[in-house]
Structure 1
Amino acid sequence: MNFYCDIKVLPDPEASEPVLISNLISKLHRVLVQLKEHNIGISFPQVQKTLGNTLRLHGTNASLSTLLETQWLKGLRDYCVVGAVSVVPDNCKYRTVKRKQSKSASNKRKRSIAKGWLSAEEATLKIGDDQQTMLHLPFVQLNSLSTRQTMKLFIEHGKLRDEETEGQFNRYGLSSVATVPWF
């Protein structure tokens, strides 16, 4: 991961930053599936309570150049500025950027029933809705092309590390193992 490219969303009166970032991630996911790409990671250098206005792509010069040559940003070019593929600065830190899922009460009930730990009646009585884990992380909101359902993809930036950890990224550019440069 020695190269990166920043994509910054521009202020728009019709769409908020989170909506534009969600659209970018949705389109990125589709092109990563098409390209069968596992070597491109993402981060959000402006992350705070929201993901901010910048999506940073990480990878090799070849993988990022190939990605940017596709027309994956079609329809969003008026809403963002795409930077050049650049070399990662020396002496940077590293961190994981991964998906974090909440443990919903309904999923706990389904799992308990499927594993045979509880009957359906017992699961309903013992696992109340108050056992749901709430996440206070920034997220993107995506629409599934197959089910047409809306889902929230919560994104957690891990602790800073001195050393890079290699690995593969999922088709959203996220990994619980592989790190991306942080600067």
Structure 2
Amino acid sequence: MKYYLDITLLPDAEANLGFLWQKVFQQVHIALVDNKVGDNESAVALSVVGYGDKAFPLGNKLRLLAASEDILQKLDMQRWLNRLSDYCHLSSIKPVPAEVKQYARFNRKNVKSIEKKAQRRAVHLAKSYNEVLAYLIEEGKSKECKLPFINVESQESKKQSGQGVSCQFLLFIEKTLFDEAVNGKFDCYGLSKTATVPWF
């Protein structure tokens, strides 16, 4: 990843950071799908610059990175974020600094809902769903996922329903730091199970 552009979120009284992350990330995802290079594969990666921020766990900036300037120009994020222009600022495309010392992997962490877990265990243990659910709620209080997340609207379920009805889900994002770059593929959320992005 040699080039990047930053998208800074600009919250106000009407639109908080959580709302803006949802709307901006949705548009980024649609842009990545529209420009995919393979089945659910993107040439553009995502970096959550303010990950772990005390005020808001995802911070107020996301960074898109690519191997070439042309890839980011072709993505044309200005067009995708046009209706949100009052709430976000796009930087110009810049080269990644040469002195990067760390790399970060941002991957999607699948967190199963407690209800689905209770259904499976109830069948497996031949116990009532409510009994298993109550146990899991009590047991899980200390095990709740603490990772930052984005509320995402599934475009696939909207398409499959044929009626424009969408399904919302929480996309949990995990960050891991590395001393060296790791190559790999990025999905259409800009996330990867293996690949890293420059962390600066």
Tell me the TM-score range normalised by the shorter chain: 0.7 to 0.9
In 2, Cα distance between the equivalents of 1:120 and 1:84? Answer: 59
Identity %: 35
In 2, Cα distance between the equivalents of 1:40 and 1:110? Answer: 38
Partner of 2:180: 163
What is the CA distance between 1:108 and its match in structure 2?
A: 3.0
2:117 aligned to which of 99, 102, 108: 108
Residues 77 and 181 (structure 1), Cα distance of their counterparts in 2 relative to 1, 3 Å cut = same
Runs of 4+ in 1 over 6 A off after TM superposition: none
TM-score by length of 1: 0.85
C-alpha contact (below 8 Å) 1:42/1:173 kept by paired residues: yes
1:80-116 deviations in Å (ceiling 9; x for gaps): 1100111111231101011112233333345568xxx
In 2, Cα distance between the equivalents of 1:2 and 1:27? Answer: 23
What is the CA distance between 1:148 and its match in structure 2?
A: 2.0
Residues 80 and 121 (structure 1), Cα distance of their counterparts in 2 relative to 1, 3 Å cut = same
Partner of 2:45: 41
C-alpha contact (below 8 Å) 1:21/1:55 kept by paired residues: no
**Aligned-partner SS, 1:153:** strand
2:172 aligned to which of 138, 154, 160: 154
| Correspondences of 1:9-48 after superposition (within 5 Å) | 9-37=9-37, 38-47=42-51, 48=53
C-alpha contact (below 8 Å) 2:28/2:77 kept by paired residues: no
Pairwise CA RMSD: 2.3
In 1, Cα distance between the equivalents of 2:125 and 2:108? Answer: 31
Unaligned runs of 5+ in 1: none
Residues 126 and 141 (structure 1), Cα distance of their counterparts in 2 relative to 1, 3 Å cut = closer
Matched, 1:71 2:79: yes
TM-score by length of 2: 0.78
Matched, 1:98 2:107: yes
1:142 aligned to which of 152, 168, 175: 152
1:111-135 deviations in Å (ceiling 9; x for gaps): 568xxx8265477756742354411
Residues 40 and 155 (structure 1), Cα distance of their counterparts in 2 relative to 1, 3 Å cut = same
Unaligned runs of 5+ in 2: 159-164
C-alpha contact (below 8 Å) 2:31/2:77 kept by paired residues: no
**Aligned-partner SS, 1:178:** coil
